[in-house]
Amino acid sequence: DLRIQITGQTADEATACGVQQRIHGASSDYTFVPLPPKKFGWFGKQTKPLERLQADKVTQEEFIDQYHAENQGLAWILRIGSLILMTMAFNMVLSPLSVAADGLMMLNYCTCGLGSVLDGAAQCVIGTAAFLLALVLTTITIAVAWFTARPAASLLAVAVTVGIYVVFMKTQKKSARGTPYVSMAA
């Protein structure tokens, strides 16, 4: 067992993650260096080097759980930010349609405000279309990234989804065959 002393200004106890290594030229001085990358997955991917100092004392399981939670939080922030940026981009791409829809305002001169209603409806449809396009592409991007990161779980999820769909379709066909048709002939 080895006792390591870490000095700092903000905490009395700390948790360190890294590999202890002797400082060159010193017989009793050590330092921490990042954990080296490790291979994982089917495609020869490697983890990132890990070196971390945390301001409280936690167990290894708590440390890993907190690290994963932080990474997942960052991933979701990036996903939501990407969705917002993609929505703005599609809104800009569809802006010529928005300007063309402003021409509906000319109907106000002969319809007592119908042009404003139609223009508002067209702007709403254009904004909704931009959001739905961004949502579909963001979902596809997240799915492709997830399939790349977890191929076995992805294939299992696809197989289960296809199985549920097949069972659902078979039960729908059976229930449709068992329903008698109503005849209107007398």
When pLDDT is averaged across residues 88-103 and rounded to a whole number, the result is 88
Q: Considering only CA atoms, which of 28, 32, 2 is closest in space to residue 17?
A: 32
pLDDT in the model for residue 1: 47
Share of the chain above pLDDT 70, in %: 87
Residue 80 pLDDT class (50, 70, 90 cuts): very high
pTM (two decimals): 0.65
What is the spatial distance between Cα 41 and Cα 120, in angstroms, rounded to a whole number?
A: 51
When pLDDT is averaged across residues 122-128 and rounded to a whole number, the result is 91
Per residue in 48-73, pLDDT (tens digit) is 887 787 788 888 888 888 888 998 99
Per residue in 144-169, pLDDT (tens digit) is 988 888 888 889 999 999 999 999 99
SS (H, E, C) the chain: CCCCCCCCCCCCCCEEECEEEECCCCCCCEEEECECCCEECCCCEECCCECEEECCCCCHHHHHHHHHHHHHHHHHHHHHHHHHHHHHHHHHHCHHHHHHHHHHHHHHHHHCCHHHHHHHHHHHHHHHHHHHHHHHHHHHHHHHHHHHHCHHHHHHHHHHHHHHHHHHHHHHHHHHHHCCCCCCCC
pLDDT in the model for residue 138: 94
